[in-house]
Amino acid sequence: MKNPHDIILRPVLTEKGYDGIADKQYVFEVDIRANKIEIKKALEEIFKDIKVQRVNTLRTMGKIKRQGRTSGRTREIKKAYVKLTEDSKPIEFFEGMI
């Protein structure tokens, strides 16, 4: 089994992400190769007292950037929108950000 900290890379702290905290919906950047089941198990293992209701994923391609004649891409990322059950405790990391 993969290490849960290799699947869940970092939280995404944006305005849209802050709006979902009151409804127990959180946004995380995850490994591109991770699927929804692995993301759910990793979150429930990292944060012990939560129950994940559903996971929606979004994959974004990297933007094309140019430096003179040379062009390249920024890295692509995968985000997971995680909704917790109603009886679940909120994630403590986000508590002071509402």
pLDDT at res. 1:
58
Over 70: is that where the pLDDT of 98 sits? no
Going along the chain from its start, the domains and CATH numbers come out as 4-86 (3.30.70.330)
Over 80: is that where the pLDDT of 95 sits? no
What's the length of the chain?
98
Over 80: is that where the pLDDT of 96 sits? no
pTM for this one? Answer: 0.86
Over 90: is that where the pLDDT of 93 sits? no
Report the C-alpha gap between 21 and 12 in whole angstroms: 12
Report the C-alpha gap between 15 and 74 in whole angstroms: 22
pLDDT at res. 90:
87
Average pLDDT, the chain: 91
Q: If you ran DSSP here, which 8-state letter would residue 30 be given? A: E
Over 70: is that where the pLDDT of 56 sits? yes
